[in-house]
C-alpha cells in the first residue's frame, strides 16, 4: 500500500474549503507527513489517518507549511506518545523548531529530533529512500523524492514445479530471494524469478518555480505532486512570489515523463470548484493526466506492472 492523503491543499491564505499545506503518506502502515500547516491535526482526524507518525518532512519554513506542528505534538503528548519523532527540514531546522515549539508548548512525553537536510541528501528506510531535491523559492527550500527499492521479478510457478519445488513455504523463500534445497539439489531465485521490477516513486515539490532540478528528480515518477498556485493570467504574481502556474507544473510533468500529476497549494482566488477546474484545464493542455487535489482527497499509487 502506498496511500497519499491530501490534508491541506490551499496556498498561503486558508479558505473555508482549503487548509494550508500538509500531505500524509502511508506506506505499508508507516505514516509520514510532508509539511504540516495550520489545522493539520484536525484534518488527520477527519481523514482518519491516525497519528502514529514516524517522521515529518518540511519543505521550507513559511507559516502555511509549519504552523500545525506545535498543536500536533501537543496532542501526541496528551495521548501519551513515547516513541521519538524525527522532523526533517532545510538548513537551521533545529533552531527553527526550538523557537516554534517554545510558543505556548507545554511539554512532551517523547523526544523530537530535528535533522537538517541539504539538496541531494538521502534518508534510508527499510525498502525505500527519501531523497531531497533543490527547489527554487524565495526562502531556503527543498522538495522530496520517495523511491522504493527494486522488487524481485515475477515468480515462474511452472518452472519452480519443473525443478521439483512443491507449492508452499519453499515458494515463498524463493520469491523473497533465498536459495533452497530440494532433494539435495540447490535451487536459486534467479532460476524461477524474472528480471527485477522497479518500486514506486513519488515526488513532492513544496513551493517552487519550475526548475531543472525538479524535472531531473521527477524522471519517470509514478506521481508528481507539484504546486500549481496560480493560472497563466496571474503568471506575473507566480514569478514575483516564486511560485508556479498550473501550466508550468504540467510542463515539468511532461519533461519528466511522469505517470500522473496532482496540483496542490492553490491560491485562494482559485480555491473553489470553478477555480480548480480552470487550473486543471490549463494544465491538461500540456499534460493530460493532471488532477487538482482537494482537502481530504486520497489516492493510491500502484506499481507500473499491475
Q: What angle do CA 254, 258, 264 make, to 5 degrees?
A: 85
| 64 assigned to active site | yes
Q: What is the per-residue burial (b if ≥16 Cβ within 10 Å, else e) of 194-231?
A: eeeeebbbbbbbbbbbbbebbbebbeebbbbbbbbbbb
Query: What does the block give as the cell for 112?
Result: 523530537
Catalytic residue among 35, 64, 207, 222: 64
Cα 60 from Cα 208, distance rounded (Å): 10
Sign of CA dihedral 181, 186, 190, 193: negative
Cα 238 from Cα 282, distance rounded (Å): 15
Cα 268 from Cα 283, distance rounded (Å): 18
Residues classed as catalytic: 64
Amino acid at each position: 500500500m502506498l496511500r497519499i492523503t491530501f490534508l491541506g491543499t490551499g496556498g498561503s491564505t486558508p479558505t473555508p474549503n482549503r487548509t494550508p499545506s500538509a500531505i500524509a503518506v502511508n506506506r505499508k502502515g508507516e505514516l509520514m507527513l510532508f509539511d504540516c500547516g495550520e489545522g493539520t491535526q484536525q484534518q488527520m482526524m477527519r481523514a482518519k489517518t491516525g497519528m502514529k507518525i514516524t517522521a515529518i518532512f518540511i519543505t521550507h519554513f513559511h507559516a502555511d507549511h509549519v504552523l500545525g506542528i506545535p498543536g500536533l505534538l501537543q496532542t501526541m503528548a496528551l495521548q501519551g506518545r513515547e516513541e521519538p519523532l524525527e522532523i526533517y527540514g532545510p538548513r537551521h531546522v533545529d533552531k527553527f523548531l526550538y523557537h516554534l515549539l517554545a510558543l505556548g508548548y507545554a511539554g512532551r512525553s517523547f523526544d523530537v529530533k530535528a535533522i537538517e537536510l541539504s539538496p541531494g541528501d538521502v534518508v534510508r528506510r527499510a525498502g525505500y529512500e527519501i531523497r531531497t531535491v533543490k527547489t527554487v523559492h524565495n526562502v531556503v527550500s527543498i522538495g522530496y523524492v520517495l523511491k522504493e527499492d527494486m522488487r524481485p521479478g515475477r515468480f515462474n510457478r511452472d518452472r519452480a514445479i519443473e525443478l521439483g519445488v512443491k507449492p508452499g513455504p519453499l515458494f515463498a523463500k524463493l520469491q523473497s530471494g533465498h536459495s533452497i534445497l530440494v532433494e539435495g539439489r540447490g535451487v536459486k531465485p534467479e532460476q524461477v524469478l524474472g528480471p527485477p521490477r522497479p518500486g514506486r516513486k513519488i515526488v513532492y515539490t513544496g513551493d517552487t518555480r519550475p526548475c531543472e532540478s525538479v524535472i531531473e528528480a521527477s524522471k519517470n515518477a509514478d506521481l508528481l505532486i507539484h504546486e500549481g498556485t496560480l493560472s497563466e493570467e496571474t503568471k506575473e504574481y507566480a514569478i514575483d512570489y516564486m511560485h508556479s502556474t498550473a501550466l508550468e507544473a504540467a510542463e515539468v510533468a511532461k519533461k519528466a515523463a511522469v505517470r500522473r500529476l496532482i496540483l496542490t497549494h492553490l491560491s485562494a482566488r482559485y480555491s473553489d470548484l470553478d477555480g480548480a477546474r480552470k487550473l486543471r484545464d490549463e494544465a491538461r493542455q500540456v499534460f493530460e493526466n493532471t488532477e487538482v487535489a482537494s482537502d481530504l482527497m486520497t489516492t493510491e499509487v500502484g506499481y507500473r506492472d499491475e
